[in-house]
Amino acid sequence: MTPAERLYAGLADPQSLADLDAEAWNGVIRVARAEMLMGTLGTRSMGVEILPRARLLLDEAVATAQVRQAAARYELSKIAEAMRDTGIPVILLKGSAYLATGLDAVAGRNIGDQDLLVPEADLNRAETALRAHGWQPAKAKGTYDDDYYRRWMHELPPMVHETRGAVVDLHHNILPRTARLTPRPDLMFAGRVEVEHGLFVLSPEMMLLHCATHLAYDGDFLGGPRNLWDMDRLVRTFTGNEGFWDRLQMAAAAHELTAPLMRALRLAAHLYGTPSPGAMRGRTDIVDRLAIAKLYGHDAYGRQRRHGAAFALFVRGHWLRMPPLMLARHLTTKWRARRREARAAGR
Amino acid sequence: MSEQALHAGISAYSLDPDIRIERLEDLSLAFHRQSGETHVLAADTEIILSTLGDTPLSAQDIAARLVAEHGALESEDGDPLTLIEARLQELHRLGIALRRPSA
Amino acid sequence: MRLRIGPAIFDLRSPFRRSVGHLAELYRDYPQGMDGEVYDFAVRARPISPLRRWVRPTIVFDADFMVEDIVPVEARLGLLGFEMAINMQMALGYRREIVFHAASAAKDDRAILIVGDSGAGKSTLSALLSYQAGWRHMGDELALLTFGPEAVLRPYPRPIGLKNESIAVMRALAPADRFGPLLTETVKGTVQHLLPPQSAISTMDEPARPALIVSPRFRASVAPEQRRMTQSEAYLRLSVASTNQLTLGEAGFETLVDLVRNVPAYDIVYGSSEDALSLVDDLWREAR
């Protein structure tokens, strides 16, 4: 088995981790760190007897995730406060939504940026409300980047809180305007579910669809194992709901997201044995095979992604000038911004 | 909150229960358990903060408490009440104080 | 190769024979092998492109934490890249203790913590303390503080990164076989690593209680000076110097507050190594 196979098997069936020796763990830890699944593996493996040093490293990742989740919860309350008097319905997306709903997908997960969906007509008002509460656009208004986001993207440029450094991404749809598929935000708002602080999340089927869409549009299946794990957790949470699969199928058709949904279900079944009705998965195609090669294609160091020399130079320059604390904080922000730009450019 | 404050539509403030304050020999630190942020408090802010608790108080309530404790309030930067209100707003902006919105 | 530095085990690999040779030489006194152990961090060097392994070779590094493709260096400076990548793993990825960008050294069971920005003279002071003033070297770049009211510093005694003028100073004080290769024209100027005394490495599992904090600043030909920091100054200084305190939550806050309440902190300014050592000596005499 390759380290990636062991990781996916370990997430699906934590007992399988009990058999791993130190060298197997060394491979699994590299892939788990590269794919941001270390904290998740840490929570999944609790109660399983594994090597003590592996336990130590997993517990560190879990503790980090817990601190980040607490901070993310705080951000949610502050966002709610900023939006309270506007009357704008705010739907939390992805990690923020799993956190606010207490879904299984959140266990051990590092939550950074807050992703919010608001009606397009309210976008400017929402931005104004956030600005009044300290979130400022990371890109100066009128610059090329700012213009690019506003014209072509399904979100505004990231907004960064002036004192806390927390990042909010304000979306008006779940796919860029440039995408061929056109999900319908009106239906998303119609089906929204209220959670804490007067904030909302997507309906279960829409939440799953959004997750599936991400996988297909994140380019190069970057972050695929993490995303598919979310799929797996969501499916297992919702599959018991009466009529869930029918509603999912109808929602997929209404939003023209049937193809990405089927692919995501196929890949999740491949990695984690995620259950779904056969008709919802469809047939394997060439893209699946490429994706699978990618999803299992880590070397012994968990290496998969390649970043350009520009990033390399950026970090080098900063390591020399900045105290490491600042570096850590600054880098995570920059790093996230960079990933987003890569996504926006379709790379 | 005092009746007076309620009717006048004045904001009232309480200490965020997630805040932990540690007094050092010179200044005080406020640590927010949930957000993980640490704030260093200026001396006058700390005095105001020391009056805050679970019960929401307006700037006027706080001024009254400070007068009771320290005698007459004096400020070189103008009206003490304005100063207190400004500090409270700052504490709220930093997430140290909770604000009950005006009626 | 796999080696342990203080509490952390690293797996280091390089296709460049020169880097491997340098690493083997520099880390010869450290525990090695450890096959069949789960290690903490992997750092691997690789050529920036397969062809460039031979044509103007440049090395990039892959590692667990945030250093994919960072610190590309000329192949002859591979050792420097490894040192930076190793530091970054601890700075960003380690959280069993609070990590400070600081040097530390011990006498018996008590330690001094030396906090300062890059270039403030931490490494030089740390080298002088161990090779001239008889202190036990605990680390010149990162210091590890355990949690709790009785927090102790755990040694993380990596080779000391000497720069420019301090190289000649230390050459006169330390045996020649403790020095790594001379690395010229790096981004930091000339760099040479000084292996800590063997005794510092063999005692790297013995912690020491922090008793004094200093923040040194070197200024050519000024009179030595010291100034006690207030507790909140010390808190801020240490908080900024920590690479992971923010991710440690309330336990990290509490430990740091206890530290600044119990341990005196000073700014010191010196114009010569003699002045630096005598300042530290004076302050140490009052420390408890």
C83 in A contact zone (CB under 8 Å): no
Chain A, 63 to 92: residues with Cβ < 8 Å from chain C are 63-64, 66-68, 70
DSSP reduced 3-state for C39: coil
**From the list B28, B33, B40, which residue is nearest C250 (CB)?**
B33
ipTM of the complex: 0.91
Strands of chain C (E only): list them. 2-5, 8-13, 41-47, 58-63, 70-74, 98-107, 110-115, 136-139, 142-145, 153-154, 160-163, 179-186, 189-194, 209-218, 225-228, 265-270
A251 close to A186: Cβ distance less than 8 angstroms: no
pTM over 0.90: no
- How many C-beta atoms surround the C-beta of residue C91 within 10 A? 24
Q: Which site among A68, A301, A321 would you substitute to test the C interface, given the most C Cβ atoms closer than 10 Å to its Cβ?
A: A301
- How many C-beta atoms surround the C-beta of residue A275 within 10 A? 12
C11 close to A22: Cβ distance less than 8 angstroms: no
Q: Which site among B31, B32, B33, B34 would you substitute to test the A interface, given the most A Cβ atoms closer than 10 Å to its Cβ?
A: B34
Which of C43, C113, C31, C111 lies closest to C82, judged by CA? C43
Return d(Cα A324, Cα C243) in angstroms, integer. Answer: 5
Q: What is the pLDDT of residues C161-171, one digit of tens each?
A: 999 989 999 99
Inter-chain touch A324–C92, beta carbons under 8 Å:
yes
Angle at C110 (CA atoms; ends C109, C116), nearest 5 degrees: 140
Inter-chain touch B38–C261, beta carbons under 8 Å:
no
Inter-chain touch C240–A326, beta carbons under 8 Å:
yes
Collect all residues with Cβ–Cβ distance below 8 Å to B92 and sequence separation of at least 6: B13, B98, B99
- How many C-beta atoms surround the C-beta of residue A4 within 10 A? 24
Inter-chain touch C243–A60, beta carbons under 8 Å:
no
> A328 to chain C nearest CA, in Å?
7
B79 in A contact zone (CB under 8 Å): no
What does the DSSP assignment read for A258-298? HHHHHHHHHHHHHHH-----HHHH----HHHHHHHHHHT--
Q: What is the pLDDT of residues A76-107, one digit of tens each?
A: 999 999 999 899 999 999 999 999 999 988 99
Return d(Cα A91, Cα A174) in angstroms, integer. Answer: 11
Collect all residues with Cβ–Cβ distance below 8 Å to C176 and sequence separation of at least 6: none
Strand order in the sheet with C179-186: C160-163, C189-194, C179-186
Q: Which site among A64, A164, A325 would you substitute to test the B interface, given the most B Cβ atoms closer than 10 Å to its Cβ?
A: A164
C51 in B contact zone (CB under 8 Å): no
Collect all residues with Cβ–Cβ distance below 8 Å to B3 and sequence separation of at least 6: none
Return d(Cα C136, Cα C138) in angstroms, integer. Answer: 6
C242 close to A325: Cβ distance less than 8 angstroms: yes
Q: What is the pLDDT of residues C215-242, one digit of tens each?
A: 999 888 889 999 999 999 999 999 989 9
- How many C-beta atoms surround the C-beta of residue A286 within 10 A? 7
CA atoms within 13 A on the CB side of C218: 17
Q: Please list the pLDDT of chain C residue by residue as tens digits (288 residues).
A: 999 999 999 999 998 888 889 999 999 999 998 888 999 999 988 887 655 555 667 888 888 886 544 567 888 888 988 998 999 899 889 999 999 999 999 999 999 999 987 777 888 999 999 999 999 999 999 999 999 889 999 999 999 999 998 999 999 999 999 999 999 988 888 999 999 999 999 999 999 999 999 999 988 888 999 999 999 999 999 998 998 887 899 999 999 999 999 999 999 999 888 899 999 999 999 988
Mean pLDDT for the stretch of residues B79-93: 86
Which of A226, A303, A314 lies closest to C42, judged by CA? A303
> B33 to chain A nearest CA, in Å?
8
CA A91 to each of CA A205, C82, C89: distance values in angstroms, whole numbers, following the listed order: 14, 45, 37
